[in-house]
Amino acid sequence: MALTYKDAGVDIDAGNRLVERIKPVVQATFNPNVVGGIGGFAGAFRIPGGYKKPVLLGATDGVGTKLKIAIDTGKVEGVGIDLVAMCVNDLICSFGTPLFFLDYYATGKLEVEVAEKVIGGIARGCQLAECALIGGETAEMPGMYKEGDFDLAGFAVGIAEEEELSPRVEEGDILVAFPSSGLHSNGFSLVRKLLFEKLGYKYGDSLLGQPVEEILLTPTRIYVPEFKKFKPYLKGLAHITGGGIVENLPRMLPANLHAIVEKEKIKPLPIFQFLAEHLPEEELYRTFNMGVGLIVAVSPEHLPQIVENSDGYPIGKVVVGEKGVTLQ
């Protein structure tokens, strides 16, 4: 009897079915700069005009152990949005306007229905980020993953003027917080250990009036629309991911400036109030976003334009001092 690739655990036909099923949702992310369709060896994208000294920026990320909860519960649609968010939210912190996105989906055995939901979520994330999903890779690797498991990686490319890459934050600038939608995609190893091992929660149990998995799987907020809307007023941006405010906010500061954040001004979400009952404050602020997904620096005269036209609100200021953050 002849041995086939399918006998070894790789189903080429399943991969082809997936490509056909995702074509409509992928093509819905296209814009006039996309050249060709999907299914080629590479995606093609025209560089937009109107730039004097354009610079391309790239960002890559994953979703981390949040995926474990999605896989265990079968609620996988939102992690595609998470994947896009983690990449494009980094791009905008370098003043990069997202252009296009690519994904990598790896699994032991391709389940077309599951992959279709995940990639549908990625496409939705690209629509929210106003960028095109121009390609990706689905890898079926028997023996590398347990049954039902999969992993994700994302790759985003954006564009900026070269002059925009230079630090512009100054003494006296106001720090404005944009709320997060929840935990986003960081700190899940700690959250899972606390909730499921130490406190004994199980999927389906109620936490803050919702099934615990629904709170944990709330998709990461994408801040591209706010970036585009307020870009003329922004002098610096920090995506608050792993490491929290303490580790991420200094990344937008020059060497001689220090950020002062007033903790009492932060509007906490219920999930962080719950976590605060069980974890040390220092650990909270070094691990989680604490309800703040993005912090931007603006001049005092431009503060009204932002707070009156968004859900952003001031939480601190920039002063002269050693690069870093003081939470007070």
Give the mean pLDDT of 98-120: 97
Residue 1 binned pLDDT confidence (cut-offs 50, 70, 90): low
**Tens digits of per-residue pLDDT, 255-298?**
999 999 999 999 989 999 999 999 999 999 999 999 999 999 99
List every span in the chain annotated with CATH 3.90.650.10. 174-327
DSSP of 4-33, one letter per residue?
A: -TTTTT--HHHHHHHHHHHHHHHHTT--TT
Q: Which amino acid is at 42?
A: A
For 174-327, CATH gives: 3.90.650.10
Residue 15 main-chain phi, psi, to 5 deg: -60, -40
Report which secondary-structure segment, H or E, holds 151.
strand 150-161
Residue 36 has pLDDT above 90, yes or no: no
Q: Is the pTM of this model over 0.85?
A: yes
State the CB neighbour count (10 A cutoff) for residue 27: 14
Residue 242 DSSP SS3: coil
Within 130-264, where are the H helices?
Answer: 188-192, 212-216, 224-230, 244-248
Residue 70 has pLDDT above 70, yes or no: yes
Give the mean pLDDT of 229-239: 98
Q: What is the assigned CATH class of domain 12-165?
A: alpha beta
Measured CA to CA in angstroms, residue 269 lies from 179, 189, 222, 276 at distances of 9, 20, 17, 11
List every span in the chain annotated with CATH 3.30.1330.10. 12-165
